[in-house]
Structure 1
């Protein structure tokens, strides 16, 4: 199943900030593994797809918003590996479909829209039973691939990264972080940058996720979690929120280093790392690995929203 994916390259970053801080900084380019199913999304899907095959289930059902990277990747993965896919989309249908949902339909995904109140029940047994009655025997993958299968896949992201002292990753549901923490080598630590406002609330959720994984029957690289820390100061106002400073940083970073970033996750984490380097947060000689978790297709939605705001701000002739 993994044979169609390229090994993610590691790219070194040299600039005035890294030179002044005296660190060795690299980026793990998960965004280059596959044109459609890349980043941490593939790792979170991998063992869900394998379990569905083992159970002889041919239909995947999952959840997401209108610009969801997970919906995009699940639709593509389903098409690649012979699954029917159903995407339960938060909110009402809006025509014409945006680029994310258009792609999902082109990949064969059936879209189902539910209101926001019902969507909040997506992880309940009642809604799952309702969906099974409606669509038959389906394999349900939670929003974002955020389950123990997702954690298992994410234990494979940095398993070959023993040369680094610190692994940095953006944090939404913390599934990716949990997998990375379980795969850390002795002496390593992980810094996670929540993209949600008030991200400290994730700490007990992360502890619970790690505990649940370690008591499960799923294999783990380690019998105990590695060191991790949340850095909660770089959310830029909350999930999918941006400002001029972040937009400018993303543009300049891509121009200088040839690495495109997404607004929602990686741009915030990269900005945070660079700011911490400037502050002298890291020890001289530290070796840092920044995990590029993909999600670039989601930039279209942010850019469309920014363009609408700019148009509204234009004075009428």
Structure 2
């Protein structure tokens, strides 16, 4: 494990305690586990998910790394950053129109050397089809291919370090929450907690609409990893996707801006913002009374650039977190 990640999980993790009236009224406590503070080219959960692939590619002298994503994909953005940092070629198979103006995320990826190959939505839906993947591999030889979101088995196993880091830092009945896309980080976190903090509850807040498939996917990863020790209680929270992946309504934007104004903590609108927006809506509805909550801040702040009005408002309040692309 690279030094910044090892220091983050083996040393004293970076926590930020949040103080808010709504928490006080509910008798609840909230702290953020700041994966967004990991230094280096990669931070957040992407550091854990991608480093095994980077390490394997370097070990095998592979030509580069390839994967899939949309025009605003955090994963492709992080993959391009990793390629630039570690001297690997990168290829992004992008769902979208090659002639459309590129967004800031793809501009970064291209500037960092990623080869962008655009496909139609119908083609993109074939990304798990072995024949379609074989065609891509024949057209772009020499790449190691990663699934959408970077949630392959090695990446999930790497995320287990997060669970092990938290096991001895939790109290009885504590609630651990994190945002979910593919569910790989949640699967790894649970695997790392297996046999440890059995008295806690883990909740993944889905950024996707219609995410009922995630529980089955997570169980499949655990079977592949041969996780046999007892897991803490866990579930997927599906009420706070805000309309679907990448959707950010005015209520969510106002919450993210207000959270930054009160606490100086930036949240992205795709994952972390939705998670904490959901928590605050639950608190307002009388849920989570007396809960001690640890929330994983998984990074991805570059996603703010998809919402220029929100980013401008936060910049006026002093936010400078995107000066280096993250």
TM range, smaller chain: 0.7 to 0.9
Question: What secondary structure is seen at the aligned counterpart in 2 of 1:199?
Answer: coil
- Higher alpha-carbon deviation: 133-142 or 274-283: 274-283
Task: Could you tell me which runs of 5 or more consecutive residues in structure 2 were left unpaired when the two chains were aligned.
Answer: 313-326
| 1:20 paired residue among 22, 25, 30 | 25
Can you list the C-alpha shifts for 1:127-178, whole angstroms capped at 9, x where unaligned? 2221221121210011110111121121122422233321101111111110
Question: Number of aligned pairs?
Answer: 300
> Equivalent residues in 2 for 1:43-54 (5 A)?
43-54=48-59
> Equivalent residues in 2 for 1:23-42 (5 A)?
23-34=28-39, 36-42=41-47
Are residues 131 and 224 of structure 1, via their aligned partners in 2, closer, same or farther at CA, if it must alter by over 3 Å?
Answer: farther
Question: What secondary structure is seen at the aligned counterpart in 2 of 1:64?
Answer: strand
Are residues 50 and 35 of structure 1, via their aligned partners in 2, closer, same or farther at CA, if it must alter by over 3 Å?
Answer: closer
1:12: how far off?
0.3
Within 1, Cα distance between the matches of 2:310 and 2:285? 33
Can you list the C-alpha shifts for 1:76-121, whole angstroms capped at 9, x where unaligned? 1111112111111112213543211111122111111111111111
1:105 alignment counterpart? 110
Task: Could you tell me which runs of 5 or more consecutive residues in structure 1 were left unpaired when the two chains were aligned.
Answer: 215-219, 308-317
1:36: how far off?
4.6
| 2:269 paired residue among 263, 272, 284 | 263
1:4: how far off?
4.9
Can you list the C-alpha shifts for 1:17-64, whole angstroms capped at 9, x where unaligned? 221222231001111213652111111101122222333313111111
> Equivalent residues in 2 for 1:1-317 (5 A)?
2-4=2-4, 7=8, 9-34=14-39, 36-94=41-99, 96-161=101-166, 162-164=168-170, 165-184=174-193, 185-214=197-226, 223-282=229-288, 284=290, 286-303=291-308
CA contact (8 A) 1:181 1:227 kept: no
- Higher alpha-carbon deviation: 290-299 or 199-208: 199-208
Are residues 34 and 127 of structure 1, via their aligned partners in 2, closer, same or farther at CA, if it must alter by over 3 Å?
Answer: farther
1:226: how far off?
2.7
Are residues 4 and 81 of structure 1, via their aligned partners in 2, closer, same or farther at CA, if it must alter by over 3 Å?
Answer: farther
RMSD: 2.3
Question: What secondary structure is seen at the aligned counterpart in 1 of 2:307?
Answer: helix
1:183: how far off?
1.8
Within 1, Cα distance between the matches of 2:309 and 2:125? 26
CA contact (8 A) 1:163 1:287 kept: no
Are residues 225 and 211 of structure 1, via their aligned partners in 2, closer, same or farther at CA, if it must alter by over 3 Å?
Answer: farther
Question: What secondary structure is seen at the aligned counterpart in 1 of 2:16?
Answer: strand
TM-score (norm 2): 0.85
